[in-house]
């Protein structure tokens, strides 16, 4: 059997991890691939002292890789400019592509997939969502018989680490973020992690696979964790909930809700137990019921595990002589494209924290406004005022309510003279069908 020749572009964390995994597990990987997987080229601006490149062609200009005699180009550089050019050029030359680059797929995936189809090559990106968790192959293959009703994921390890520390140690957001950066979990510029952009990129990919929504984050409602206060994590626990930064795709009658935001989840839900930098995705299928996929969402080993699995899948497909479809795609023609619902039409239950004057009648005024809007209060806690303060936190959970209805009720509540400042409101997901 001819070897499958591979070019690794980018020898950073994931590139070096992939390089080492292909060497370390060479025999079993080759057996499973049905041929030898040979790293014959590397695209790197400089050497990585951890990778012995003897006998391997090295291109300092990564674009030159596409002219080398390789079957698969593995893009592990990150970014969306050179990476996009490289992937397009490689596919135009008939080379299969594997990438871990969620930003590239979430922003340019539709274009890249069209080119993959045109050139009858594979474009595989298992590593782009939740690192080592094989969620794309689970959705595409393992759950292929199901209508997926919803999926909800903790798919950014940095954000989950921050929320876990805030809950367990009562620490403030900024303090934990600084530690996450010093531990190397968060990037020097952590905006994508804490503002929900990274999770939105991954959600766009999952939703496109499941609901055939466009590969773009434009229509996704995105709210980060920067505004979250430890006091709300504590109050949520008193109701029996944990707060997680959740990415949700949920089918409704008229379309699909795509949203990323802090979320109260019942502490009895398995996904509420997912702490630290770990990732998990809960998926509800109409035949299988609830499922949960858990594992490391980042790191050299877990991400390389997914990259190499994609290379093996390509090798297997080549060995049976198909090579005619892009590996990780559900064929669009098989699924009706779903509309993404605008935020004002989305529907969730809410946690509310209202700062109210400590005097009779406030609660009934708030309850009256809610009732006028058809919102029911499911649970309520009224705290004693702190010494010397005349405002008390009024904390409640509502039933599932349409966004536009809730927001107009909140505007009326905030206009009450007995209420101080904006009402804190956080979505609630029961994840129960």
Residues 126-165 vs ligand NAP: string with x where CB under 6 A? -x---x----------------------------------
Q: Which is nearer to ligand NAP, 133 or 413 (CB)?
A: 133
Q: Judged by CB under 6 A, which of 82, 212, 226, 230 binds ligand NAP?
A: 82
Q: Judged by CB under 6 A, which of 18, 101, 213, 318 binds ligand NAP?
A: 101
Q: Judged by CB under 6 A, which of 4, 6, 7, 13 binds ligand NAP?
A: 13
DSSP 317-349: HHHTT---S-TTPPPGGGSPPPPBPPGGG-EEE
Q: Judged by CB under 6 A, which of 12, 94, 276, 422 binds ligand NAP?
A: 12
Residue closest to ligand NAP (Cβ):
12
Q: Which is nearer to ligand NAP, 74 or 346 (CB)?
A: 74
Q: Judged by CB under 6 A, which of 23, 31, 45, 169 binds ligand NAP?
A: 45
Give CA–CA dist 289/14, Å, rounded.
34
Dihedral sign for Cα atoms in the order 345, 289, 241, 194: negative
Copy the structure tokens of residue 242: 């944990």
Nearest Cα to 107, choosing from 216, 22, 193?
216
Residues known to be catalytic: 202
Give CA–CA dist 117/119, Å, rounded.
5
Copy the structure tokens of residue 322: 């198909």
Q: Which is nearer to ligand NAP, 216 or 400 (CB)?
A: 216
Give CA–CA dist 19/340, Å, rounded.
39
Coil/strand/helix, residue 308: helix
Copy the structure tokens of residue 310: 């994609």
Q: Which is nearer to ligand NAP, 67 or 331 (CB)?
A: 67
Binders of ligand NAP in range 260-319 (CB under 6 A) = 298-299, 303
**125 within 8 A of 328, measured Cβ to Cβ:** yes
Given the DSSP bridges, would you call strands 419-428 and 347-357 parallel, antiparallel or unpaired?
A: antiparallel
Coil/strand/helix, residue 82: helix
Nearest Cα to 308, choosing from 86, 83, 59, 19?
19
Residue 205 CB, nearest distance to ligand NAP (Å)?
12
Give CA–CA dist 340/388, Å, rounded.
48
From 73-81, 133-141, 343-351, 412-420, give the range in contact with ligand NAP by CB under 6 A: 73-81
Does residue 77 bind ligand NAP (CB under 6 A)?
Answer: yes
Q: Judged by CB under 6 A, which of 18, 39, 43, 312 binds ligand NAP?
A: 43
Q: Which is nearer to ligand NAP, 247 or 256 (CB)?
A: 247
Residue 17 CB, nearest distance to ligand NAP (Å)?
7
By CB under 6 A, name the binding residues for ligand NAP.
10-15, 43-46, 62, 76-78, 82, 100-102, 127, 131, 298-299, 303
């Amino acid at each position: 059997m001819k070897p499958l020749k591979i070019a690794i572009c980018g020898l950073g964390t994931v590139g070096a991890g992939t390089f080492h995994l292909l060497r370390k597990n060479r025999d079993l990987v080759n057996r499973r691939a049905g041929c030898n997987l040979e790293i014959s080229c590397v695209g790197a601006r400089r050497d990585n002292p951890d990778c012995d490149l003897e006998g391997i062609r090295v291109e300092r200009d990564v674009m030159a890789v596409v002219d080398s005699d390789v079957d698969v180009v593995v893009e592990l550089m990150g970014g969306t400019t050179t990476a996009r050019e490289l992937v397009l050029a490689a596919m135009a030359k008939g080379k299969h592509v594997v990438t871990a680059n969620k930003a590239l797929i979430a922003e340019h995936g539709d274009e890249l997939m069209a080119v993959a189809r045109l050139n009858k090559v594979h474009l595989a990106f298992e590593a782009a969502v939740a690192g080592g968790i094989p969620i794309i192959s689970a959705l595409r293959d393992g759950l292929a018989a199901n209508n997926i009703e919803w999926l909800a994921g903790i798919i950014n390890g940095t954000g989950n680490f921050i929320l876990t520390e805030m809950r367990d140690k009562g620490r403030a957001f900024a303090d934990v973020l600084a530690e996450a950066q010093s531990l190397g979990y968060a990037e020097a510029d952590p905006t994508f992690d804490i503002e929900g952009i990274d999770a939105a990129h991954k959600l766009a990919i999952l939703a496109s696979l499941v609901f055939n929504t466009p590969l773009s984050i434009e229509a996704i409602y995105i709210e980060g964790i920067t505004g979250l206060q430890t006091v709300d994590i504590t109050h949520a626990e008193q109701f029996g909930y944990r707060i997680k930064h959740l990415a949700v795709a949920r089918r409704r009658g008229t379309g699909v809700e795509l949203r990323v935001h802090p979320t109260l989840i019942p502490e009895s839900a398995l996904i509420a137990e997912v702490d630290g930098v770990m990732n998990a995705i809960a998926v509800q299928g109409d035949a299988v019921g609830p499922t949960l996929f858990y594992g490391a969402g980042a790191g050299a080993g877990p991400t390389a595990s997914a990259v190499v699995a994609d290379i093996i899948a390509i090798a297997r497909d080549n060995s049976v002589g198909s090579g005619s479809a892009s590996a990780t795609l559900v064929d669009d023609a098989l699924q009706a494209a779903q509309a993404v619902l605008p935020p004002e039409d989305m529907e969730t239950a809410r946690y509310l924290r209202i700062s109210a004057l400590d005097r009779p009648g406030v609660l009934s005024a708030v309850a009256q406004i809610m009732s006028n809007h058809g919102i029911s209060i499911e649970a309520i806690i009224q705290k004693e005022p702190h010494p010397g303060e005349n405002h008390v936190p009024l904390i409640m959970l509502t039933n599932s309510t349409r966004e536009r209805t809730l927001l107009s009720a909140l505007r009326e509540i905030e206009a009450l003279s007995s209420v101080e400042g904006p009402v804190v409101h956080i979505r609630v997901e029961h994840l129960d069908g």
